[in-house]
Structure 1
């Protein structure tokens, strides 16, 4: 057994006390104030001014559990909702689950078992891992899944019905869903219908004694793009984002895993790419790491869509090719002056004039096909191709000349279109056991409505637009029959406001951003590009603003941010409880005095 010095022991005590203080200040039985729901708002009142007959609750979170049309729920349900006004005390040890009416397939049971574990862990965190106050109330959760399908896609039914009722010392919860993902969302909702209660001998949870909720998402694609190539993001940091996403029912992690700055993804076919492209040997995502993230995400109701960006954003990692006798697979790599060759340093674009490029990419796409789950798609990037780089590369200019093409924009567009057609064929070939799937490209010069139909079929390509909210591009593409994912540049680019002339978008701006409601609009994504962010600042740049995106894409409510403040503050509190570090959005006085700071 290790011996702890007195100084070390004292430090450990201070750390433990500080941690307990931070956790408990989220929602404690305050000796000064009590709260009461009046006209849909939790009103604060000093304890010494309370009358003997006035019924005030000990904490703000307890009040919010019983206050307002939607109580503490985030995002709001989209169907009929009825929340009770009474609570019962429970502890996680007294919760049991029944799947007897669900399919017996092993994958379904494995999913439900893991979802159950996450649910109980979430409740333990809610009461500061000290849920040991004595209570005789039992919580029984009955889950009825109607299908054995565990595939998460744009066509997956994520809806659910949740009915909660009480009798004597028992609380019964009945969850009905078509898929395991709907059941997961129902348990997420159930976890939000609780608040901590504190006793001298330990804590417990208050849970609503009755509730009836019918719910399902408006958009099938509710995403978050995480750039892990500009700055390496550790697996633990990625898992934290997934935990936060699950809490607000976002269902797609768009993992931008390669770029010109680094290529941290291990490739089985060409390990030299990572050797030359990773920042260090410790900053690499192994094949096992990526599969683990896929699995971790799925049990939280989240798809992972990998992005292999091409033909631009392809620099570091490809320098080994000439010495291997393959010529220049990528050109302009790390060249200066960068402003003439790319959007941002370091430069690097694939070389479509080199036939070896397609031989190599065939094996790279096979690596991706073997890595991602069957039936999952690949994001093929396709943004910010810089014609100046190709125009400065003699072998590309000569290649175009042999095709009787010049050096105008339309000539480089044709070259780009040829590249895209070739790599789509490579991707299909790598996945020869499956029917052709759609793929995603960023909006770009190639997706301009005036030329897009020449190069990209609306049956194969989904366009992710990243223009300002007042731009007409999404509507023009919809008229041409293209499916869209919308990332509103001046609202949902969460890295903005810290560089150049970009602006910071507060959570209200994020929440009030509405995207087109059209059957061809799959949904939207908020984006974090990490030129000026790493894993130490990731949480605060992302959260709690990403929660605002979660409600917008799940429910698309016809209300603005001024009507949701209390629930939003409760959700921020919930994120902290679950281990994230969201930025502060208002003084705590405003949190305690609802509506006074608008």
Structure 2
């Protein structure tokens, strides 16, 4: 039986199913016969959250058993892989690592269904492993601090989709999202008012919460560009320009004060975040840079032998690399300001996050490509805008046909250098346009995750959408229920440049139905969502509430369409 019939997102790589179902009765008995107690505890929490049933931990008698087993590696050939066997004796998950067991647990949770009063899981054997090792998503508290509970909800959604990285964009023009002991003014506004920022205790809480779910947290301190807030707070880090105005968005690289500032800030980050990689940004400085006009930058360029501002930047990157390497950290940066047409003097162990070749006037263009980074022996995380930028860029048509080693063009012999991908949720500056993440991310995260986990094409999109519905809402949804059919697609319309988008794809949602027929179907779907919510049978009430708002908007659209009114509600 093909894996698509398992109706799980991400789709397992191999599933040999019997067509029968394993019935499980509450309370669920879960256990282990070796050192997997922490994952058993996680599975217990997941099952209770998803099913509203009691879970009992028992190593003697269990319905679900988790086993660390080196022999499983010969079947899946990946440390994150797992083997799941489900039959009349229950469910056994085996993996050589705790990470693999966690993924198996998410498959159990995703595959459970409530049918006729019974809990059921498809019988058979699953052998599953990820196609890529870096499977991430990014949140942007620098542009708008996110409540801790919301971040944890995103971590849960990411772990459910078998992602393993959370990238926190901490510094930008708007603010710095960490409390800094060395630079407390970074946590204040221009009038001295306190700005919200995460304390060290809150970050430690997030690290523990994410780590328990197999997710490492990647911190990003974006320099030397996107420095409006830093320069407003510490104007001595601005360039020195005799005739004209210095950049108000890019740090001066001619002064050692900038080096000391950045190294101290990175020191605080390294102290707080144990992950082996630190992101230093490095994007878009060419859009607002005064290094050529700055007397201090020119002097340093002469002293260091840099003939261009690009070489001036590379010298800065090498200094950051040295700082991070001395602290056993790997440097990661965005790609767009590295002129890869030539062999740039940037350490080849830097991890490059590719999002696009710079636009005209925004950085190097001619001769630049993702493929050139691979030719220069860099490893790359693929965050190409059309597949990874939730705000206004991604579309269902593009994302379902994408995978990180296919677009942009990547030669087969270089494919392994693309170690994965990352979904990016940049916060819009305007508060009123941020609500769309609650409706967009519950489907965007698992769809993107599927493209990182399983490179096979999605042949049956209708079945995938049904699986995605259960993934987003939980195991109590009726058989065959497809919320995305009514919303007009699996990728909900997303914002761009702070411009509000419609809550759903109205024209695609109508399909061949009359406005009255569409309205009736919207109201039926609203009734289903309402019943699930009232019975506390949706895993994320916020997602159900967001989808109800979308459907109510569609009801209004159908009313107007029926009257011939083209203005949307």
TM-score of the alignment, normalized to the shorter chain, above 0.5: yes
Deviation at 1:494, TM superposition (A): 0.7
Aligned to 2:492: none
Deviation at 1:573, TM superposition (A): 2.8
Aligned counterpart in structure 1 of residue 345 of structure 2, from 455, 459, 463 = 455
Aligned to 2:409: none
Between the aligned partners of 2:137 and 2:20, the Cα distance in structure 1 is 35
- Paired residues of 2:185 and 2:233 also in contact (CA < 8 A): yes
**Are 1:97 and 2:30 matched, yes or no?**
yes
Deviation at 1:472, TM superposition (A): 7.1
Partner of 2:356: helix, strand, or coil? coil
Deviation at 1:241, TM superposition (A): 0.9
- Paired residues of 1:276 and 1:318 also in contact (CA < 8 A): no
Aligned counterpart in structure 2 of residue 161 of structure 1, from 75, 83, 94 = 83
Deviation at 1:559, TM superposition (A): 3.0
Over 3 Å counting, the alpha-carbon distance change for 1:580 and 1:402 in structure 2 is: same
- Paired residues of 1:87 and 1:209 also in contact (CA < 8 A): yes
Between the aligned partners of 2:319 and 2:405, the Cα distance in structure 1 is 32
Aligned to 2:12: 77
**1:73-472 to 2 correspondence within 5 Å?**
73-91=8-26, 94-102=27-35, 109=37, 111-124=38-51, 129=52, 140-146=63-69, 157-166=79-88, 171-197=89-115, 205-208=118-121, 210-276=123-189, 281=194, 283-321=196-234, 328-330=236-238, 347-373=248-274, 376-386=276-286, 388-391=288-291, 394-396=294-296, 398-399=298-299, 403=303, 411-429=308-326, 431=327, 434=328, 437-446=329-338, 448-451=339-342, 453-458=343-348, 460-467=349-356
Aligned to 1:577: 539
Over 3 Å counting, the alpha-carbon distance change for 1:234 and 1:254 in structure 2 is: same
Deviation at 1:190, TM superposition (A): 0.7
Aligned to 1:486: 382
Aligned to 2:442: 543
**Are 1:514 and 2:449 matched, yes or no?**
no
Deviations 1:81-102 (A, max 9, x none): 32542352522xx222222323
Between the aligned partners of 2:188 and 2:171, the Cα distance in structure 1 is 13
- Paired residues of 1:87 and 1:207 also in contact (CA < 8 A): yes
- Paired residues of 2:82 and 2:93 also in contact (CA < 8 A): yes
Over 3 Å counting, the alpha-carbon distance change for 1:388 and 1:492 in structure 2 is: closer
- Paired residues of 2:218 and 2:277 also in contact (CA < 8 A): yes
- Paired residues of 2:334 and 2:354 also in contact (CA < 8 A): yes
Between the aligned partners of 1:71 and 1:194, the Cα distance in structure 2 is 10
Task: Give the CA RMSD over aligned residues.
Answer: 3.6
- Paired residues of 1:275 and 1:317 also in contact (CA < 8 A): no
Over 3 Å counting, the alpha-carbon distance change for 1:394 and 1:483 in structure 2 is: closer
Between the aligned partners of 2:447 and 2:134, the Cα distance in structure 1 is 15
Deviations 1:284-319 (A, max 9, x none): 111111121111111222121111111111231454
Between the aligned partners of 1:279 and 1:86, the Cα distance in structure 2 is 62
Between the aligned partners of 2:64 and 2:357, the Cα distance in structure 1 is 45
Over 3 Å counting, the alpha-carbon distance change for 1:96 and 1:341 in structure 2 is: farther
- Paired residues of 1:161 and 1:176 also in contact (CA < 8 A): yes
Between the aligned partners of 1:277 and 1:264, the Cα distance in structure 2 is 16
Deviation at 1:584, TM superposition (A): 4.9
- Paired residues of 2:379 and 2:419 also in contact (CA < 8 A): yes
Partner of 1:115: helix, strand, or coil? helix
Deviation at 1:438, TM superposition (A): 3.0
Partner of 1:210: helix, strand, or coil? strand
- Give the TM-score normalised by the residue count of structure 1: 0.68
Deviation at 1:403, TM superposition (A): 4.2
Between the aligned partners of 2:391 and 2:192, the Cα distance in structure 1 is 22
Partner of 2:290: helix, strand, or coil? helix
Between the aligned partners of 1:321 and 1:209, the Cα distance in structure 2 is 60
Between the aligned partners of 1:532 and 1:320, the Cα distance in structure 2 is 19
- Paired residues of 2:386 and 2:395 also in contact (CA < 8 A): no
Between the aligned partners of 2:167 and 2:187, the Cα distance in structure 1 is 21
Aligned to 1:557: 456
Name whichever structure is richer in helix by fraction. 2
Structure 1: state its 5+ residue gaps.
1-39, 41-66, 103-107, 133-137, 148-154, 199-203, 323-327, 497-502, 589-598
- Paired residues of 1:98 and 1:142 also in contact (CA < 8 A): yes
Partner of 1:455: helix, strand, or coil? coil
- Paired residues of 1:262 and 1:277 also in contact (CA < 8 A): no
Over 3 Å counting, the alpha-carbon distance change for 1:426 and 1:520 in structure 2 is: same
Deviations 1:249-307 (A, max 9, x none): 11111111111111121123332322358996462111111121111111222121111
Between the aligned partners of 2:237 and 2:354, the Cα distance in structure 1 is 28
Partner of 2:316: helix, strand, or coil? helix
Deviations 1:521-563 (A, max 9, x none): 1011111111257564322232312211111111112335736
Over 3 Å counting, the alpha-carbon distance change for 1:423 and 1:457 in structure 2 is: closer
Between the aligned partners of 1:420 and 1:209, the Cα distance in structure 2 is 52
- Paired residues of 2:31 and 2:40 also in contact (CA < 8 A): no
Aligned to 1:63: none
Over 3 Å counting, the alpha-carbon distance change for 1:210 and 1:279 in structure 2 is: farther
Over 3 Å counting, the alpha-carbon distance change for 1:387 and 1:490 in structure 2 is: closer
How many residues in Structure 1 have an aligned counterpart in Structure 2? 457
Deviation at 1:321, TM superposition (A): 4.0
Aligned to 2:557: none
Partner of 1:254: helix, strand, or coil? strand
